[in-house]
Amino acid sequence: MKDSLQKPNIPVYIALSVGGILMLFPFVWMILTAFKTNAEAMQIPPVIFPSEWKIDSFLQAMESLPFPKLYLNTALMIFFRILCAVVFSSMAGYAFAKIEFPLKKVLFGIVLLQMMLPSQIFIIPQYQMLAKLGMTETIFGLVFPGLVSAFGTFFLRQIYLGIPDEIGEAAQLDGCNRWKTFVSVMLPLTWSGIAALSVFTAVFAYGDLMWPLIVNTDVNMMTLSSGLSTLNGQFVTNFPVLMAGSVLAMLPMLILYMIFQRQFIEGVAMTGGK
Amino acid sequence: MNSKKRNRSDMFWGYLMVAPTILGLLILNIYPFIETFIRSLSKTKAFGKYEFQGLMNYQEMFTSEEFWKATWNSIWFCVLTVPVGIFLALLLAVLLNAKIAGRGIFRTIYFLPMVVAPAAVAMVWKWMFNAEFGIINSIFGTEIRWLTDPKIVLITCAVVSIWSSVGYDAILLLSGIQNISPYYYEAASLDGAGKVKQFFCITVPMVSPTLFVVIIMRLMASLRVYDLIYMMVDQANPALTDAQSLMYLFYRESFIAGNKGYGSAIVIWTVFLIAIVTALQFIGQKKWVNYEV
């Protein structure tokens, strides 16, 4: 095409690079600060590189927060939220897209209603329910609001609507019942949708702050996000420790992002608009 | 299989397959929605119990200065973040759409804040905006109290919010832009339209349905902003009331002060506010969103 033969577009490069530096700088500064001593970090005028790369701040951050547990809690919360969202939403998404049954529109209306309401409107009663079950300070508590996903149902229904009816009908003529058609014929056709939903669920569960802060107040049961916010109160002026904590908290997701960046960006673009 | 039998079997499988989701939504969302509404009309008592009392919470809320300030802060935060953020995202999407080498790397970089928890993002910006030792005041040689000056604190938060969301919004807009046929641009070039004119006369109208969705999403997110401000402006900050959003106030009232009835009234008010803003957008869209193509 003509476009691909264009000469390198210098103004575009300059604009994107300036913006790119603005995007990257906070991360660079976070890492540089984490390796400085507190005195060095507060020097005026500021020094850019630490004179000696010290890991003391990382050790201090790990002493005040049980990072291995935070990693585990966050990973478990994300795993179960993805599992629930994918399994239940696939089933419901398929049924809403491909099966006719009475009251289908009303039931789907419930899904749409949940999507339109901000999650904070559910928080107080959800917390009370969880407290009544005696399930605060547990992994189940962290997963609780994500046991089912209205968004996932809506999203996967769209994916199933895009699959031609003939495919399922052929399987049914071969004697498969609805469940068998769903599991062995339809479900395997939706992997890209499932991947997108998983990325979406993971990113939002990982970033969520209010819910984990409310349900799990024991530092051993916190997520990376809520744990980090307690560090914030503990080391008000010790910035190298705060930065070291932030680096430790963002590392796992960052590594995953570096490996699966295509899936991340496409996943979010696919699920976009929520 | 005869059709009657098949309908019965379809009904069975249909209900069975939606059952977990529907039951979950009823218990986790629909019931809580109703309960929050009732709670907002009730007095909070010990052990999560409550007692109906009419509009007292709303009366208290509407006469509270802190509440009105929080409402104003939430709206002001939208005004600060949405227009600038959306404009920058659209610009970025157009730049990322240019056929240049390495645009995959740029895409990866701009998307980066999305995969980092807001808590960590807020932490580093708080450090950079530190009035005494922060790098930003050092670079510009200023002594601005970014996080404690009542007039500036929300602008600071808005900057961070735009920084975090611009890449995400741009990726969404980019997929809209990529659907525009190149022939429009070729025709415009032949007619002598410059890049700027093409942007306003082709790109903006053609991407307007996606743009509309992104604007609605960003407005809703900004009206219920919480985590960023919570992390940047702690509860001992003297500028707290000047930065406190509705959802921050909701969190403090419900879970720190323990006044869940009052908190429920705040959240109902926020939903009301979001509904009005969204409705206005849907009315306004007829003037500028183009569904023709």
Neighbours of A200 (CB within 10 A): 23
B272 interfaces chain A, CB cutoff of 8 Å: no
Cα distance between residue B35 and residue B50, in whole Å: 10
Which residues in chain A have Cβ-Cβ distances shorter than 8 Å to B217?
273-274
A69 and A40 fall within a common domain: no
Q: Are residues A201 and A228 in the same domain?
A: yes
Same domain as A13, residue A83: no
Q: Is B106 on the interface with A (CB under 8 A)?
A: yes
Same domain, A42 and A176: no
Query: Is there a domain that residue A204 lies in?
Result: yes
Residue A256 lies in a domain: no
Over residues B220-243, the mean pLDDT reads: 91
Determine, for residues B117 and A26 on separate chains, whether the beta-carbon distance falls below 8 Å. Answer: no
B187 close to A (CB below 8 A) = no
Cβ distance of A92 and B21 shorter than 8 Å: yes
pLDDT higher than 90, residue A116: no
Residue B275 has pLDDT above 50, yes or no: yes
- Tell me whether B51 touches chain A (CB under 8 Å): no
Res B166: pLDDT = 95
Residue A20 CA to residue A14 CA, distance in Å, equals: 10
Residues of A in contact with B121 (CB under 8 A): 26
% of chain B residues with pLDDT over 90: 64
**Which of A118, A224, A246 lies nearest to residue B270, judging by beta carbons?**
A118
Between chain A and chain B, the number of residue pairs with CB atoms below 8 A apart is 273
| Averaged confidence pLDDT in chain B | 91
What's the CA gap between B260 and B39, in Å, rounded? 7
Mean pLDDT of all residues in B228-252? 93
- 8 Å CB contact of B13 and A214: no
Question: Which amino acid belongs to residue B36?
Answer: T
Is A215's Cβ below 8 Å from some Cβ in B? no
Q: CB-side exposure of B178: number of CA atoms within 13 Å?
A: 11
H or E, element range at A210: helix A210-215
Do A50 and A72 share a domain, yes or no?
Answer: no
Distances in whole angstroms, Cα of residue A249 to Cα of each of A74, A138, A225, A228, B9 = 10, 20, 7, 7, 49
User: Does any CB of chain A come closer than 8 Å to the CB of residue B263?
Assistant: yes
Q: pTM of this prediction? A: 0.90
Query: Could you tell me the two tokens for A67?
Result: 């990072």
Residues A138 and A214 in one domain: yes
For residue A100, the SS3 value is: coil
CA angle B148, B152, B157 (to 5 degrees): 85
- Hey, are the CB atoms on B20 and A1 less than 8 Å from each other? no
Domain contains A270: no
Segment A23-51 shows an average pLDDT of 91
Residue A93 lies in a domain: yes
Q: What is the pLDDT of residue A237?
A: 78
Q: What CATH number does residue A91 fall under?
A: 1.10.3720.10
Predicted pLDDT at A232 = 81
Whether residues A33 and A77 share a domain: the answer is no
Q: What is the pLDDT of residues B81-95, one digit of tens each?
A: 999 999 999 999 999
Is residue A69 a part of any domain in this protein? Answer: yes
Shortest Cα distance from B145 to chain A (angstroms)? 15
- What is the spatial distance between Cα B213 and Cα B200, in angstroms, rounded to a whole number? 19
The per-residue pLDDT for A8 is: 62
A213 and A126 fall within a common domain: yes
For chain A, the domain total comes to 2
| Residue-wise pLDDT tens digits, A52-75 | 898 999 999 999 999 999 999 999
Give the per-residue pLDDT at B121: 93
Tell me which residue range forms the domain holding A220: 65-234
Q: Kindly list the residues from chain A whose CB atom is less than 8 angstroms away from the CB atom of residue B213.
A: 272-273
Contact A147, A87 (CB under 8 A): no
A79 plus A10 within the same structural domain:
no
Instruction: Name every chain B residue with its beta carbon within 8 A of the beta carbon of A19.
Output: 92, 95, 110
A16, A126, A228: residue with CB nearest B120? A228
More confident residue, B9 or A62: A62
pLDDT of residue A7: 57
Protein fold of B57-288: MetI-like fold (1.10.3720)
Q: Is B53 in the A-facing interface, judged by CB distances under 8 Å?
A: no
Sort out which chain B residues have CB atoms less than 8 A from A273's CB and list them. 172, 213-214, 217
* Residue A71 confidence (pLDDT): 96
CA distance A66 to chain B (A): 17
Beta carbons of B268 and A245 less than 8 Å apart:
no
Domain membership flag for residue A109: yes
Tokens coding A94: 């398929």
Q: What is the phi/psi pair of residue A217, to 5°? A: -95, -10
Average pLDDT rounded to a whole number, residues A189-205: 92
The bridge status of strand B42-44 relative to strand B50-52 is antiparallel
Residue B145, both tokens: 């109290």
Among A125, A242, A268, the residue with its CB nearest the CB of B35 is: A125
- The domains of chain B are located at 3-40, 57-288
Q: How wide is the angle at C-alpha B178 spanned by C-alphas B175 and B179, nearest 5°?
A: 95
* A73 & A198 share domain: yes
In this prediction, what percent of chain A has a pLDDT beyond 90? 70
